[in-house]
Amino acid sequence: MQNKELFNFSIKLLLKDKSSYVFSFLIFTFIVFILSSVLFISSSLKFDLMQAAKAQNQITIYNQKAGIITQIDESILDDLLQIAGVSNVYGKIDGYYKKYFHIVGNDDINENEMIIGEGLRNILNRYHYKDFFNFYVEDKKYKINIKNTLNKNSNIITSNIAMLNTQIAQDILGINEDEYSYLQIEIPNDSEIDYIELIVKEKYPNLIVKTTNDRIIEIDNLFYYKGGIFMIIYIVALISFFVLLYKQISAINSVEKKQIAILRSVGFSINNIISIKFIQNFIVSVGSYIFAVCLAYIYVFILNAPILKNIFLGLTMSDIVFTPIVPTNILAIIFIFTVLPFLLAIIIPSWKTATTDINEAMK
């Protein structure tokens, strides 16, 4: 039988028995959809965090007391500037007001204005703060007008940000004028980063010194932890997948055996029968895989991943928009470990049935 005729016959047989393939299609779609959705979310978050880490200056310095990050005095700025290879040192104001406002100081913003992220804008709108917000520090009130909102496609870093004048940010966060949240060192020559890091650590052993590579490693470790949640979801999906495989293996029942025996008796070879089963289930598995990946893309990057997003970010950051990132290499791995086992679970029982005696199969 020619390949084209064999393919057409396989399609007709698939359409005739389509009701028996619906369960396989739905379960396979569900498994790949869950895996792909989690993959898209984690890849998008990791990409945004990595971009933010790489955008910062090469070395960041924090102060600590009793193991707790605290303010750092500006008195060490001059000493740091004296280190060979350091071009500049910046003091940064950064902290949280309540649990929603990620406050960042910016000298270019007026004292009575602020620029906020889209996520924070949505939260303020719920409480009817459309044009301003009142910050209360002890008995003092700061009425700050909302000057602008960052792009609605802002990522996880800028979603709940509030950029205020540096002096106002210090007052709201309770930071003295001669203190900063942390310092950042600018180094023109990347090859000197490790050397300067070592000098700073030796000179100020009580300070925490982090390079860009350190921040990248921390992000990787964070997603190893989040990967635990992924593994739980993966195990659940994997169990469902093995249920599907068991269903497919056990599907070679007496009816299927008789069908294969009939095909053998009318002249179909063993290779023809295996090809028919392969074509049918290849269409089901690959079709459901593509459908599930597309569905996951829409769910995460268009619908913004309701429910699953809260697993990764919690309820306080429910307004962020995920950056579309499609890691094709991992999608290929999912394909290999789902589609191929599925096809093997069909071909092997079909081959065993096709090689048995026709009279035995017809019983």
For the chain, percent of residues with pLDDT exceeding 70? 84
pLDDT score of 171? 93
pLDDT score of 289? 92
Helix (H) or strand (E) holding 151: none
pLDDT band at 127 (very low <50, low <70, confident <90, very high): confident
**Which residue has better confidence, 357 or 31?**
31
pLDDT score of 114? 95
pLDDT band at 71 (very low <50, low <70, confident <90, very high): very high
Mean pLDDT (the chain) is: 82
pLDDT score of 251? 54
Q: Is 345 helix (H, G, I), strand (E, B) or coil?
A: helix
Quote the DSSP letter at residue 191: G
pLDDT band at 49 (very low <50, low <70, confident <90, very high): confident
pLDDT band at 196 (very low <50, low <70, confident <90, very high): very high
pLDDT score of 213? 87
**Segment 268-277 mean pLDDT:** 81
pLDDT band at 252 (very low <50, low <70, confident <90, very high): low
Rounded to an integer, what distance in angstroms lies between the CA atom of residue 295 and that of residue 304? 12
Whole-prediction pTM: 0.72
pLDDT score of 94? 94
**Which residue has better confidence, 63 or 262?**
63
**Segment 84-94 mean pLDDT:** 92
Longest CA pairwise span in the chain (Å): 94
Q: Which residues are within 8 A (CB) of 318 and not within 5 positions of it... i.e. 6 or more apart?
A: 119, 309, 310
Pair 117, 156: CB distance under 8 Å: no
**Which residue has better confidence, 222 or 95?**
95
